[in-house]
Amino acid sequence: MAKKAKRIKIDKRLQLKIVNPDAAGIDVSSTEMQVCVPLDRDADYNRTFGAFTEDLDKIGDWLISCSITTVAMESTGIYWVPLYMNLVERGIEVYLVNAKSVKNFSDEDKTDEIDAESLMLLHSYGLLKASFQVNNFAREIRNLSRHRDNLIRKSAKEIQHIQKSMELMNIKLCNVISDITGKSGQSIINAIISGERDAQNLAALADERCKNSKDIIAKSLVGNWNEDLLFTLKQNYYLYQFIQKQITECEEKIGTLAIKYSIVLPPQSKEIIRCKKKVGKKVKVAFDVEEYGYKVFGVNLMQVPGISEGSLLKLIGELGHDFTEKFETYKKFCRWENLAPNNKISGGKIISSKLPKRKNPVGQIFREIAVSISGSKSPFGDYYRRIRSRKGPMAAIVATANKISKIVYMMVKNKTEYNENLIRADEPALLMRKMRNMQKSMAKLQAQIELYQKKSVLQIAS
């Protein structure tokens, strides 16, 4: 494991100590890789390689021949991924670093050779901080999970296109049926595509459980049947069906990878305690995410309010099973998620505490969870509404997401199941605090009233 920077005293002076003598630096680009090793490892210590697979293999072979055990590389787009995975499979520890941490140390004449040498030098002294990376098993699930999200977004876009085509035909089915992609909506759309135009016959296809009557549904199905709009409706609907099929196939593939990932995970000694959340057919994942999440994290995170099968699947791919080992405390975890204030202190005073303008995928997941429980009766919903009343909705989302991520971290680290009683606020104490605040406000108002009364008396006397 690569080490952090150390200082040593030499002749009453402090100097940095080389803590990673077997370190190398790699400057990554789309067409070539610039690799630099220590001067004593090879006469040609700063080499240029291509970006093809055979070139990546040559890089790995050369680094091993030079006795390199740890490598630092910049996170340039997605070009670093193949080389990163190649080196990790060879047993070389790879530090993926932010380019900002190297920018201020480079010479004025910026070249690939200088960048690679700067990376090697800084890493040898332990001055670089590695970005969080999951293992290769979790990375595969993460890639498919992100692909699944893209498919879901495309599916939602096609629903909007279907609605647009129907609105242009003045077919008001969206006004009388809550979900046009449900059983009733799809039956009616299929009949329209097949050539049915009679409103009564189309309305008869609606399920008996629809809130609106068949007569109202029939009125909404009277419109102009333009051929161009019928054609776009047909193609958009078929595209929606195709994307839904792709989502199912993607989920099945994730389930297959989950079985492979489960083999390398430590076995759980206890049986899973299932949550009692109702999962709709439309958002139901094609495999048992709850059980697989329990195998990965050792606790059932779906017990936490707001965490659904979809969000749990995303957390599995983004974090992996050992994320608590890479973040020493929950504070570092929340800071990495961009859910903790970035306090800037000068002269003993906080001059700024705004969140950095960057997006973290895990932080976004917890923000979505916070929004989903904003109106719930859970402790998180109560907490969200208390913060919103004082600081507004944006601050409430961040604060609630921070609270949920802290609980998730502690659950996984300590292998303890979710207990609502431990996080529920002390209601009597909250009511007492509200009463004290109201008393202070009443006292201020009373003082203002007395001041105005004194002024009015002085004006009358004068």
**pLDDT tens sequence across 371-381:** 999 888 888 88
Percent of the chain topping pLDDT 70 = 94
Residue 5: other Cβ atoms inside 10 A: 14
Question: Do 316 and 349 have their domain in common?
Answer: yes
Query: Is 300 a member of any domain?
Result: yes
Q: What is the pLDDT of residues 283-300, one digit of tens each?
A: 788 888 888 888 888 898
Question: Do 280 and 415 have their domain in common?
Answer: yes
Beta bridge partners of 13: 10
Question: Do 293 and 407 have their domain in common?
Answer: yes
Query: Is 1 a member of any domain?
Result: no
Summarize the confidence of residues 104-114 as an average pLDDT: 71
Q: Which CATH number does the domain housing residue 103 bear?
A: 3.30.420.10
8 Å CB contact between 310 and 369: no
Give 26's pLDDT tier (boundaries 50, 70, 90): very high
Query: Does the pLDDT at position 316 exceed 80?
Result: yes
Characterise 348 by phi-psi region: left (phi > 0), alpha (psi -120 to 50), beta (else): left
Strands 23-28 and 70-74 turn out to be parallel
Query: Is 16 a member of any domain?
Result: yes
Distance CA 403, CA 34 (A): 43
Tally of structural domains, the chain: 4
DSSP string, 194-218: HT---HHHHHTTS-TT-SS-HHHHH
Does pTM surpass 0.85? no
DSSP string, 299-337: S-GGGSTT--HHHHHHHHHHH-TTHHHHSSSHHHHHHHT
Distance CA 200, CA 193 (A): 16
Query: Does the pLDDT at position 454 exceed 70?
Result: yes
Range of the domain at 87: 6-131
Summarize the confidence of residues 303-318 as an average pLDDT: 90
Strands 32-36 and 23-28 turn out to be antiparallel
Distance CA 337, CA 310 (A): 19
8 Å CB contact between 394 and 355: no
Question: Do 417 and 434 have their domain in common?
Answer: no
Percent of the chain topping pLDDT 90 = 34
Question: Do 271 and 414 have their domain in common?
Answer: yes
Question: Do 110 and 90 have their domain in common?
Answer: yes
pLDDT of amino acid 153: 93
Summarize the confidence of residues 374-391 as an average pLDDT: 87
Question: Do 43 and 100 have their domain in common?
Answer: yes
Question: Do 280 and 205 have their domain in common?
Answer: no
pLDDT of amino acid 12: 57
Distance CA 153, CA 161 (A): 13
| Residues near 79 by beta carbon (within 8 Å), at least 6 away in sequence | 28, 29, 30, 51
Query: Is 328 a member of any domain?
Result: yes
Question: Do 245 and 318 have their domain in common?
Answer: no
Instruction: Give how far the C-alpha of residue 346 lies from the chain's centroid of Cα atoms, to the nearest Å.
Output: 32
Question: Do 39 and 143 have their domain in common?
Answer: no
pLDDT of amino acid 105: 62
Query: Does the pLDDT at position 185 exceed 80?
Result: yes
- 447 by Cβ neighbours in 10 Å (0-12 / 13-18 / 19+) ranks as exposed
Question: Do 96 and 164 have their domain in common?
Answer: no
Q: How far are the Cα atoms of 99, 108, 240, 391 from residue 104, in angstroms, in the given order?
A: 10, 10, 49, 37
SS3 276: coil
Number of H helices, E strands in the chain: 19, 9
Mean pLDDT of the chain: 86
Contacts 24+ apart (CB under 8 A), 239-245: 239/158, 240/155, 240/158, 240/159, 240/162, 240/181, 243/151, 243/154, 243/155, 243/158, 244/155
Query: Is 235 a member of any domain?
Result: yes
Question: Do 277 and 402 have their domain in common?
Answer: yes
